[in-house]
Chain A
Amino acid sequence: MIRCMCVVQAGQTPDKSQAALTEKLNTFSEKAFGQPASVHWTAVPAASGFTAAKPSTSSIVSFTAEQPVAQETRVSLLQDLCDLWTGETGCSINEIVAVINDPQPQ
């Protein structure tokens, strides 16, 4: 399983949308890494998220690959990930931070 961490602002991603996103993230993971994702959701409590020191509407979606990813591939995957997220949530491109990490050295 590929680890995927999603951090969203409380109340910003309804349960229905979260379920749809989880499904799409799994499909993305299988296409990108050949394995489904273990998706972990964390909601930032109300009045607890800040971007540029102002109340935040930003979400973070972060995958950790099991093999190093070529940069050209990573860029393409990150674009797909941002498109997936903005398409499902309706958020602006400026509200999503997407990360694809290489595996941690042992």
Chain B
Amino acid sequence: MPLYICNAAKGAISNAAKSKIAEDVTRIHCDVTGAPATFVHVFFFEDAPQWSLNGKRALLFGSIRAGRTEAQKKQIADQARHAIHTQADIAADDIVTMIVDTPASWVMEGGDIMPEPGEEAAWLAAHEAKMAQQHAS
């Protein structure tokens, strides 16, 4: 978490562009929120009905941990739209972005409940120590 789902019209985003958009979205999320890159998942689909395009060429749906400000969410959405526009050559007004909150306490990753925003460093240190201990035993 976060999970970014990018659904696009068939053939609208090449595999090469997907890789670059994933890099951009990961960087944008980390720059805006301070979260580590290891938390960021970006998955691409084509014409997936569960994330309706509503006549647009691309949709970016982001489910992020609750606690970010509206300004942060707008910054992520605007910059991610620009990344898709630039990397896939899709008109900006043909791209929809949507960011929704999910409480960190509802999500388990790496076997641990996700940290609240701002508590990532302590969580990562504890998680890595736990993994090292399990690996050693």
Contacts and interface: CB of A to CB of B under 8 A. Distances in A.
A and B associate: yes
Interface of A: 7, 40, 42, 44-45, 47-53, 56, 58, 60, 71, 74-75, 78-79, 81-82, 93-94, 96-102
Given A42-B45, A60-B41, 14 more contacts: A7-B43, A40-B50, A50-B42, A50-B43, A51-B40, A53-B19, A53-B42, A79-B111, A82-B111, A93-B110, A96-B109, A98-B109, A99-B108, A101-B106
Contacts of B27: 53
B12 interface: no
B52 interface: no
B137 interface: no
Contacts of B26: 50, 52-53
Contacts of B113: 75, 78
Nearest to A51: B41
B46 interface: yes
Main SS at interface, chain B: mixed
A52 B110 CA distance: 14
A50 to B, nearest CB: 4
Contact of A52 (B19, B37, B43): B37
B1 interface: yes
Given A47-B18, A48-B18, A98 B108 contact: yes
Contacts of B15: 47-48
Nearest to A71: B105
Contacts of B18: 47-48, 50
